[in-house]
Structure 1
Amino acid sequence: MNSSVNFGSKFVSVLVPVPVGKDETFTYLAPEDVKIGERVRVGFGKREVIGYIVGESSAREGAKSITYRIDSEPVITRDVIELTKYMANELFVPWYRCMEAAVPSGLKLAVKGAKPRFKRVLSIKGSIESAEIKTAGEERALSCIKIIAGHPETFGITDIMRKLEVSRNFVEKLIKKDVLVISEQQIQRNPFSKLDLIKKDVMPDLTQEQKRAVEEIRDADGKIVLVWGVTGSGKTEIYLRAISEVIEKGKGAIVLVPEISLTPQTVDRFRARLGDKIAVLHSSLSSGERLDEWMRLRDGRARVAVGPRSALFAPIDNLGIIVIDEAHEATYKQNETPRYNAIKIAEKRAKFLNIPLVLGTATPTCEQYYKNISAGEPIIELPSRVTACALPNTKIVDMRQELAEGHTSIFSRMLIREIKKALQNREQIILFLNRRGHASFVLCRACGESIKCPRCAVSLTVHLSERRNQKRVPELICHICNHRVAHPSKCPSCGSHLIKAFGAGTEKIEEEVYRIFPSARAIRMDADTTAKKDSHRKILETFIAGEKDILIGTQMIGKGLDLSRVTLVGIIAADSSLHLPDFRAEERTFQQIVQVVGRAGRAEKKGLAIIQTYVPSHPAVAFAAEQNVKKFIEYELKRRKASNMPPFTRLLQWTFESEIEEAAVNGARELSKELQTFPGEILGPAPAPLEKLRGRFRWQVRLVIESNTNIELFSKKLNSISCSKRKDLRVLLDIDPLDLM
């Protein structure tokens, strides 16, 4: 219960919002029963702020009293407090910002946030016999007593009015007679209330490889266990068994997934096995639902937190294991301040508590693999699928040859043949292209200019999503700032009518499917079709039910889906991300191909994956077609070592942003000069690959340092650099960046 505070009996250390590089904790006087991890209002200077109690403090003369207790119980555990302090030191951001990142928005009651909801419910006052005596001879009153006695603290006044067809006055008289009593009960908002009930699943027999994995995890306290299994190798079942063992010991678990809405099948598996023991935390929930799920974890009513990276901070006492599924995903790195990598922070939380951290993936990153090998941490390989079915066959189609032979369709001749065959056999198909929209860009063939976003240095994408009189009207949209303009009839630069849309997105794929296969039933899954709550789930349920033949989508269709009727996968442009200005581009291309290929043939019938590319011999494509992860990692590690890139080094990246280009350029140049005294190699200053975003010019400087460098040694100088006082310049420091754009 929230309460005002007029006096105190002990001194506590309160974390308050101040700029980085300054003292952030101050001593306040608080009631004896206040706990570490609670939020409080305190006077700070001339204003009142919200602070977090992070510890006890020695007595200090003149200390102010806290003015208001927001919580009656801690909202954050002691180990998470230590974790956020570590983050602040590692990332060079204020500790308070890290603490705020660890608390869900629904708990931030000081702003808007959500509050617990309560319902007024009825129960019998005293014994049932006493109530019956007080209402002897009153049939309706006796019926009311019988119903409420059978369901105490369930029905409110209006519920009873409807059920017995009585007036409010009738119920209120029973309350006045001391027959009934009314009380407040918190309403639990259920994020699954609108979904079908999940049947409790049956535990399958484990393979020998799975048994070995569960045993190794059981004995891996304080270790990082890399579970490296091919698609369909039963990694989820390993997680479930390991978590069940932890729960039996009275402990809790955290399971991170890239994004709940993209992995509904994984969540359903956990719900089916663990029931009410799991709480789901993710952005698609309302603030109220997130608040209630967080409270269930804090109060111990739920013991397993499932969610994206922010679920790592769940307030679970006696945590026994952390599992990170699809551990290769870049979404585990936050791109806003604080720019933390959930995997690295999970390693620290697991080490603090001496519990296992399990990283599961079919395509481990070079950094993950190299780290486990170098540190002697366990790597569990699962080379086979749990069912009798083998991995799908793969065929590479050289699109240069297709073009040379006069075939200009988006779909190769082989892919068209195999789609026809699958449709005839009533099998399902996945077509993958990691680019939404209808066309990639519009180009003037007279002057050579493409139509770009005026606020961002990117070409506008053609979409046909708007409809007028049942006709699809082309529109140009910026995928970064959402700037929209009508498709012009002539070039905005030179006035020529020789403008044309080039490239293809998922809308174009859908259009071509209906043109070539008019009787096919297709459904598209990308950011445009999944904007509404639960839309991912609805699309998947439609496809799984067999109501659609072809699923067309972007990278979201390659994340943890088990679609048993899919026998054919077509990767339309396997090399589309291969040549991005990022040293991880080859690795991400390889991972993407392997993950999507793995959606085929997961039941009785062997699958087939067709990979269309203009660079068939590139190692990222060739090794992915072979599904040879180990060979690719060996190749990639050699390449990284030769180019002095992670995991053999570490990167620090500064991005300077300003509406005035000169300010961004000068800021980057000044930093580059300051870094001359630092050990390491300076890259830049140079324009960022995305040179302008949302009206701000962007320049970058990178510092390459040895992999074993303790970045905290740089702390004082880095703090002074990253806290620029210039109002026209924003400086963003990213430690170990995953996004170089």
Structure 2
Amino acid sequence: GWPIMIDVAKVAIAHALYSFDQLYDYKIPEELLERIRPGMRVIVPFGASNKETEGMVMETVRIQPKGKLKTVKRIIDEKPVLDEQMLDLVKMMKTRYMCTWADAYRCMVPPGTSVKVIRTISLTEKGRMSDENLSDRFQPVIEALKNNNDTLTYNKLRQCVSIDRLSEVLKKMQEEGLVETFDQVQQSAREKTAKVIKKAVTDEKIDELIKGDFFKNIKYIRFLEVLMQVPYISTADAGKTLGISNYMMNRLVDDGLAEYDTVKVTRSPLFDIHVEGDEKKHPNEQQQQAIDGISELFGQNRFHSVLLYGITGSGKTEVYLQLIEKVLNSGRQVIVLVPEISLTPQTVTRFKSRFRRGIAVFHSRLSQGERYDQWMAVLEGEINIVIGARSAVFAPLPRLGMIIIDEEHENSYKSDKTPKYNALEIALYRCKSNDAMLLFGSATPSVNTWYKCETKRMHKHELTMRATEGGMPKVEIADMRMELASGNHSMFARATVEALKETFASGKQAVILLNRRGYSQYVLCTDCGEALMCPSCSLTLKYHKSSHRLICHMCGYTQKMPVDCPECGKKSLTIPGIGTQKAEEELMKLFPDIRILRMDMDTVTQKDSYRKILGDFRAKKADILLGTQMVAKGHDFPDVSLSVILSVDSMLYNEGYNAVEKAFQLILQASGRSGRGEEQGKVILQTFNPDHYAVQYAKNQDYKGFFQYEIDMRKLLEYPPFCNLGYITVESEDDKFAEFIAVRIKSSIDANYMLKGITTVLGPVKAPVERVADQYIWRIIIKSKNLNSLIRLMNGIRLDVETNMKTGKYRLSTDINP
């Protein structure tokens, strides 16, 4: 006879661990054949206990099965939530970011729709009647169930009884008919509905009644006039905004003039922003050139990537807005990514006032319900513009025409949670597969992006004129060596204190920026301003208190803490570090009647507190905004005339090969914060090393000069963009054990994975923050000229470790180009 062909779904299992993460074959039952499609989530029996589990159908095929297959139980999604392109993206992410299938697809399904399966166990009649002489292993289960009305969820039962391999015991008990199990599926986010009221007769009829003095109460007339203009109004709004009581609504319904209904409501986070219409601004010559040039590329309907390089205040947003209009007019859709939470309110307001409808906002502080509604609106085609932080890059727009990434140099586009994706890479992938345009915008582009433009792999348009009259701010350097030498031990230079006095006297505001608290542990000479560096990597050495040694976290070089400065021989070595609280205390002493707002991770925890802090500052409820990096980012404060960076050094000597680049960008951005109104602002940089190239280029606002210097350094030292960096991290509660595993991994790499393009394997070495939440962290760093070799190496090691090093408690994580 012929071999039997059957229809099979290849399913990715939601909670699979890396070691058994693969596509599993399930038979598609007759009744689901017509309905099941790739991109839908399903419930399937999984594992020895056949627990009902969520999975994603990656593809459907007709094959001749090897052995007996389990069957798909049911479908979760009525229509596919991922189209073919998104399924391809899932495949790409699995390889590129070394994650599980489910880690990847969860980024793309509507948030808050993941399914929880709750397994309940109940005693049967036979189990209830059973006597004492059952096996010892069954007895405790029966006891526990009897004490709880014969029924418990699996998790509760596990807490009640201490039995190894509980699921096997239950399986046996089920076979003997003592218990039965039942799986119940729960979904977390739900559609929200509201009760509404709408008119039940024609407008003519209502007019007639109004003219015929049918209504004695003017409120009825006003209410009906509203109902004639809108399809419906929610009963809550009718009560709140129009003052119509329930009694009045009931009366209108009884008289047959109105009727009640329930509608699906979208919890849109946009509604709390009230918007005036925004006039299209007339672009200046440079803006017009950029708009024309980029539109022409867009018109070719194939993939292009473009950098819009514009100094702070040069009007990049206006260019975005006019380009978006062109994309929408061509019938296509746009994703706009903005960094961090702090940019949303302003950005959204500008976009909303220009494009009244069809905008969705995604950011991490939305409630689950809000996110679900936004996502569904996108899937159903009601949305043409999605604005959001990095996760918005996955928005399932079917006719994607352009992705704009504003401030593309920002750290926050790289995810620090699994999967460790980079939104820029995902955007590139999506634009390529949609023949869409990828547009980067920045006043301080990343060295990587600029290098792409220099090597002609990307187009570039420049805006060099500030759109408003203020002109670029004046940058001053306060040499902290001189301050110390003349007896000023405060963290504020005298010039800074003077400038603050002038600012407050003229009724203006100041922004004061310091680096993340408690982070830098570098060693600095307060006499010559040099920090202690690693001789082979040219990176800052980190001081470790416990061993009183300095360590390089790239290659592992280590030395004792010296007494004298190796550069100038003086005994002036210190370990600087300031927290926002300390700075706030000192400011209060200097200016007792000045109002200070602090903005760091301590003060920005609730959903809207950052919006409130920025709003208060804009409304001049404070004179100083003091904070970490968050303060420097794209906010528009018309009354700020002074920005101070308290310790440029803590940024220059931070962790990582790109610390200097990050410091330079931050200085330039912070200087963009002052003088956004009509007059020129001022920026003060406090540093012990005023001759550092980044400080000098930043002072002259010379991005191109900085880029040239930095790219030469990187070429010399072989850092990105001239190589890819792979990090393998081992964490364990036991320091020695973590090191042991790291050493084994290193020798496995040396033996098996010296593939083409892999140039150096450094480490294992302790991570810069060597202990987090009681876990000790060790890492190995790999340099590779060839990205695919590096990905192959990392995936190989990952599987190797998961299968061969099962002993002990440790976590392994991998990351490429973090």
TM range (shorter): 0.7 to 0.9
Residue in 2 that maps onto 1:484: none
Residue in 2 that maps onto 1:211: 288
Residue in 2 that maps onto 1:40: 42
When Rg is computed on C-alpha atoms for both structures, the one with the higher figure is: 2
Counterpart-to-counterpart distance in 2, 1:607 and 1:601: 4
Counterpart-to-counterpart distance in 1, 2:231 and 2:277: 28
Residue in 2 that maps onto 1:199: 276
Counterpart-to-counterpart distance in 2, 1:211 and 1:721: 56
Counterpart-to-counterpart distance in 2, 1:155 and 1:263: 28
Counterpart-to-counterpart distance in 1, 2:225 and 2:275: 32
Residue 399 of structure 1 deviates from its aligned partner by 0.1
- What SS does the aligned partner of 1:232 have? coil
Kindly report which structure 2 residues correspond to 1:276-315, keeping only aligned pairs within 5 A, or say none: 276-315=357-396
Residue in 1 that maps onto 2:308: 227
Given the two structures, how large is their TM-score scaled by the length of structure 1?
0.83
The 1:35/1:415 distance shift into structure 2, 3 A limit, reads same
Counterpart-to-counterpart distance in 1, 2:730 and 2:456: 36
Residue 306 of structure 1 deviates from its aligned partner by 0.8
Residue in 1 that maps onto 2:402: 321
Q: Residues 513-539 of structure 1: CA distance to partner in whole angstroms, max 9, x if unpaired?
A: 332223333322222222222222222
The 1:169/1:253 distance shift into structure 2, 3 A limit, reads closer
2:23 counterpart of 1:24: yes
Residue in 1 that maps onto 2:785: 706
Look up the equivalent residue of 2:617 and give its one-letter code.
Answer: F
Residue in 2 that maps onto 1:465: none
Residue in 2 that maps onto 1:87: 93
Counterpart-to-counterpart distance in 2, 1:160 and 1:60: 64
Q: Which runs of 5+ in 1 are unaligned?
A: 1-8, 442-456, 461-500
Residue in 1 that maps onto 2:772: 693
Counterpart-to-counterpart distance in 1, 2:603 and 2:381: 37
Q: Residues 586-633 of structure 1: CA distance to partner in whole angstroms, max 9, x if unpaired?
A: 111111111111111122111111100011111122211221111111
The 1:645/1:436 distance shift into structure 2, 3 A limit, reads closer
Counterpart-to-counterpart distance in 1, 2:206 and 2:44: 49
* Contact in 2 for aligned 1:431/1:572 (Cα 8 Å): yes
Q: Report the more deviating stretch, 35-44 or 96-105.
A: 35-44
Look up the equivalent residue of 2:100 and give its one-letter code.
Answer: P
* Contact in 2 for aligned 1:436/1:526 (Cα 8 Å): no
The 1:150/1:633 distance shift into structure 2, 3 A limit, reads closer
Which of 93, 103, 111 is the matching residue for 1:97?
A: 103
The 1:163/1:390 distance shift into structure 2, 3 A limit, reads closer
Counterpart-to-counterpart distance in 2, 1:673 and 1:307: 43
Which of 187, 190, 194 is the matching residue for 2:268?
A: 190
Counterpart-to-counterpart distance in 2, 1:189 and 1:35: 29
Counterpart-to-counterpart distance in 2, 1:438 and 1:325: 27
Counterpart-to-counterpart distance in 1, 2:46 and 2:9: 15
**What percent identity do the matched residue pairs reach?**
34
Counterpart-to-counterpart distance in 1, 2:690 and 2:816: 35
Residue 291 of structure 1 deviates from its aligned partner by 1.0
Residue in 2 that maps onto 1:678: 753
2:476 counterpart of 1:395: yes
* Contact in 2 for aligned 1:12/1:53 (Cα 8 Å): yes
The 1:201/1:35 distance shift into structure 2, 3 A limit, reads farther
2:696 counterpart of 1:622: yes
Residue 721 of structure 1 deviates from its aligned partner by 3.4
Look up the equivalent residue of 1:185 and give its one-letter code.
Answer: V
Q: Residues 657-681 of structure 1: CA distance to partner in whole angstroms, max 9, x if unpaired?
A: 1112222111111111111132321
Residue 332 of structure 1 deviates from its aligned partner by 0.8
Counterpart-to-counterpart distance in 1, 2:71 and 2:253: 44
- What SS does the aligned partner of 2:355 have? helix
The 1:565/1:130 distance shift into structure 2, 3 A limit, reads closer
2:327 counterpart of 1:246: yes
2:800 counterpart of 1:721: yes
2:56 counterpart of 1:52: yes
Q: Residues 434-466 of structure 1: CA distance to partner in whole angstroms, max 9, x if unpaired?
A: 24599999xxxxxxxxxxxxxxx9999xxxxxx
* Contact in 2 for aligned 1:692/1:698 (Cα 8 Å): yes
Look up the equivalent residue of 2:766 and give its one-letter code.
Answer: P
2:612 counterpart of 1:535: no
Residue 193 of structure 1 deviates from its aligned partner by 3.4
The 1:38/1:322 distance shift into structure 2, 3 A limit, reads same
Residue 20 of structure 1 deviates from its aligned partner by 3.6
Kindly report which structure 2 residues correspond to 1:243-642, keeping only aligned pairs within 5 A, or say none: 243-436=324-517, 503-642=577-716
- What SS does the aligned partner of 1:211 have? helix
The 1:158/1:430 distance shift into structure 2, 3 A limit, reads closer
Counterpart-to-counterpart distance in 2, 1:458 and 1:128: 79
Residue in 2 that maps onto 1:67: 73
Kindly report which structure 2 residues correspond to 1:149-160, keeping only aligned pairs within 5 A, or say none: 152-156=231-235
Counterpart-to-counterpart distance in 2, 1:317 and 1:363: 32
Counterpart-to-counterpart distance in 2, 1:86 and 1:683: 28
Residue in 1 that maps onto 2:531: none
Given the two structures, how large is their TM-score scaled by the length of structure 2?
0.75
Counterpart-to-counterpart distance in 2, 1:678 and 1:164: 75
* Contact in 2 for aligned 1:647/1:707 (Cα 8 Å): no
Which of 177, 192, 196 is the matching residue for 1:117?
A: 192
- What SS does the aligned partner of 1:50 have? strand
Counterpart-to-counterpart distance in 2, 1:600 and 1:279: 31
Counterpart-to-counterpart distance in 2, 1:714 and 1:333: 21
Look up the equivalent residue of 2:691 and give its one-letter code.
Answer: S
* Contact in 2 for aligned 1:439/1:508 (Cα 8 Å): no
The 1:400/1:279 distance shift into structure 2, 3 A limit, reads same
Residue 25 of structure 1 deviates from its aligned partner by 5.0
Look up the equivalent residue of 1:44 and give its one-letter code.
Answer: F
Q: Which runs of 5+ in 2 are unaligned?
A: 1-5, 117-185, 523-542, 547-574
Look up the equivalent residue of 1:154 and give its one-letter code.
Answer: I
The 1:235/1:726 distance shift into structure 2, 3 A limit, reads farther
Residue in 1 that maps onto 2:727: 653
Look up the equivalent residue of 1:119 and give its one-letter code.
Answer: A
The CA RMSD over aligned residues, in Å, is 3.5
Residue 722 of structure 1 deviates from its aligned partner by 5.3
Residue in 1 that maps onto 2:538: none
- What SS does the aligned partner of 2:271 have? coil
Residue 547 of structure 1 deviates from its aligned partner by 2.9
- What SS does the aligned partner of 1:426 have? coil
2:742 counterpart of 1:668: yes
Q: Report the more deviating stretch, 337-346 or 205-214.
A: 205-214
Counterpart-to-counterpart distance in 1, 2:705 and 2:694: 10
Residue in 2 that maps onto 1:464: none
The 1:712/1:541 distance shift into structure 2, 3 A limit, reads closer
Counterpart-to-counterpart distance in 2, 1:130 and 1:41: 53
Residue 15 of structure 1 deviates from its aligned partner by 2.9
Counterpart-to-counterpart distance in 2, 1:419 and 1:667: 53
Counterpart-to-counterpart distance in 2, 1:601 and 1:307: 28
The 1:521/1:664 distance shift into structure 2, 3 A limit, reads same
* Contact in 1 for aligned 2:577/2:650 (Cα 8 Å): no
Q: Residues 475-495 of structure 1: CA distance to partner in whole angstroms, max 9, x if unpaired?
A: xxxxxxxxxxxxxxxxxxxxx
